[in-house]
Structure 1
Amino acid sequence: MDILPDTTAETVGDSAYRRIRTDLIFGKLTPGQKLKLERMSSAYGTSISTLRETLNRLCSEGLVVAEGQRGFEVAPISAAEFQEIAELRELLEGHMIEKSFAAGDLDWEAHIVSAHHKLAAMERMLLSGERSDAESWKQCDFQFHRALVAACGSKVLLDAHAAVYDRYLRYQMIAVVFRGEMAAAEHRELKELALKRDAKGANKVLHTHIHDCVTHALRNSDWLKPVTAKDVQREPRKKAKAS
């Protein structure tokens, strides 16, 4: 995840890629939407040829789908895919937590405390009813989870985790998921368990954190429908909203 990167030496193509990718992840380009090249070329300030390269790159990340000769569209979403992505995130992050908690030093601990401080401030804003800055909130959320696993010692794992997190985040933003104080409490507990180097306890909290997010999204989002009645206890359908 690199939602707010340093763009000092960014090319036109890099800028278009970053902006389109951000709009896909944060739901500004909606699932199934046709991506008209002429319109997008004007909106993102890039040539048709560069735009094609960008969209093909995003196809490889699972965020865009190529329709053969008919062009491109935003990748669809489904409850089944969200559950698969969530399981992959838990598998990766849980493994990385074990490695990171064993190897982390005092600087690692300080980074976790700092990242949690920023996230907690954003969560207090959300709990007070201020919901306008979703990108900053989720940037802080990612930075906290990234801090937990930062000492895992593997760039391959960190890159894989970032890619999976972005696909997970796309579902969160489409479903407008904020579970309120429960999520904030889980983040506090993860911070404390990291400082105690309790990887087993942290992985239990992480399981709840991810599983309950998926359940909440399936229950409350008009975009997502459970695969079967067993996937999530059915509730009356209502318009998706943050809770």
Structure 2
Amino acid sequence: MASALVELIRRDIIAGEFLPGTKLRIKVLAERYDAGPIPIREALSRLSAVGLIDAHEQRGFWVAPISAAELNELLALRKNLEYEALKESVAHGNYEWEAQLLAAHHRLVHHSAAAGIQGKDPTVVGPEWDKAHKAFHIALLAGCKSRWQMRFINTLSDQMNRYRHLSIHGGYSHQRDIDGEHKDLLEAALARDVDRACLLLDEHLTRTVEFALLALSKRGDL
């Protein structure tokens, strides 16, 4: 029960359903997720361990705040970890890795077409595109065999996705060929061009953060 609750609450925090600094009231969450207070508390405690929730003894739980400094720190850490993972993945990924990467990209393109965002920025596209997007990035790095490295990357990715979702809630949009960026990443990885793949990944992640910072700053959220 607690594991399912962790995933549900994690998903809703990342999607911006709970805004930064919001107090998470056990009774309200128990009703929302149709669960008892003890599993809710356990789930919140587990999410505090990955930085999505702030837990204060005797005072309860709050959604973690956001800041420009934190987002830039997340970006720097994610780049460092993903560069090394991508280098290993491109260098050592086998035929199975290539097949899984192609399949993940195909699914991502399918969901982009279904959402009508091919060649555009995916401002609000729903959970299916989000799931396919995350799966593509995981497949890109799947040739990396360090379990801990991938675990840390996943945590950083969740944190950055929270900022991305919060940045689009106000309807702010921008011109960006996100499908083109993913296609270029795919081709560089399959061509085993490590330098180009790392450069494209750098640009891809940096662009996401720049747009998020701009949107959140314009709304006065940072």
Instruction: Return the TM-score normalized by structure 1.
Output: 0.81
Q: Is the 8 A contact 2:52 2:63 kept in 1?
A: yes
Q: Structure 2 CA distance, aligned partners of 1:134 and 1:92? A: 28
Aligned residue number for residue 211 of structure 1:
206
How far, CA to CA, are the matches of 2:124 and 2:195 in structure 1?
35
Name the structure 2 match of 1:169. Answer: 161
CA distance in 2, matches of 1:91, 1:103: 19
TM-score with structure 2 setting the length: 0.89
Q: 1:69 aligns to what SS in structure 2?
A: coil
SS at match of 2:54: strand
Write out aligned runs for 1:117-196 (5 A): 117-124=106-113, 125-127=115-117, 133-176=125-168, 181-196=176-191
CA contact (8 A) 1:116 1:144 kept: yes
Separation (CA, whole Å) in 1 of partners of 2:173 and 2:183: 15
- State the secondary structure of the residue aligned to 1:156: helix
Q: Cα distance, 1:193 vs. partner?
A: 0.4
**SS class of match (1:127):** coil
Deviation at 1:100, TM superposition (A): 0.7
Partners of 1:116 and 1:178 in 2: how far apart? 24
- Specify the SS of the correspondent of 2:17: coil
List aligned pairs for 1:98-113, cutoff 5 A: 98-113=87-102
Q: Greater relative contact order: 1 or 2 (C-alpha under 8 angstroms, separation 6 or more)?
A: 2
Alpha-carbon offset, residue 171 of structure 1: 0.9
Residue 146 of structure 1 and its aligned partner are, at CA, apart by 0.8
2:23 is matched with: 34
Percentage of identical aligned residues? 33
Aligned-pair CA distance for 1:172: 1.0
- Bigger CA drift: 21-30 or 126-135? 126-135
Q: Give aligned pairs, total.
A: 214
Offset at residue 13 of structure 1 (A): 1.8
5+ long unaligned stretches in structure 2: none
RMSD: 2.0
- 1:34-76 deviations in Å (ceiling 9; x for gaps): 1111111121122222222211111111001123322111111
CA contact (8 A) 2:123 2:173 kept: no
3-state SS, counterpart of residue 62 of structure 1: coil
Measured in 2, the distance between the counterparts of 1:131 and 1:174 equals 11
Asked if structure 2 preserves the Cα contact closer than 8 Å seen for 1:79 and 1:218, the reply is: yes
Q: Give the secondary-structure state (helix, strand or coil) at the position aligned to 2:145.
A: coil
| Superposed displacement of residue 155, structure 1 | 1.4
**Cα distance, 1:78–1:53 mapped onto 2, change above 3 Å:** same
User: Does the Cα contact within 8 Å between 1:65 and 1:74 map onto a contact in 2?
Assistant: yes
Residue of structure 2 in register with 1:55 after alignment: 44
Cα displacement (A) at 1:181: 4.2
Partner of 1:220: 215
Residues 170-228 of structure 1: CA deviation (Å, up to 9, x unaligned): 11111128765432211110000011001111110111111111111111222643xxx
73, 76, 79: which one pairs with 2:65? 76
C-alpha spacing 1:126/1:164, structure 2 compared with 1 (3 Å): farther
1:136 maps to a residue whose letter is E
Letter in 2 for 1:103: H
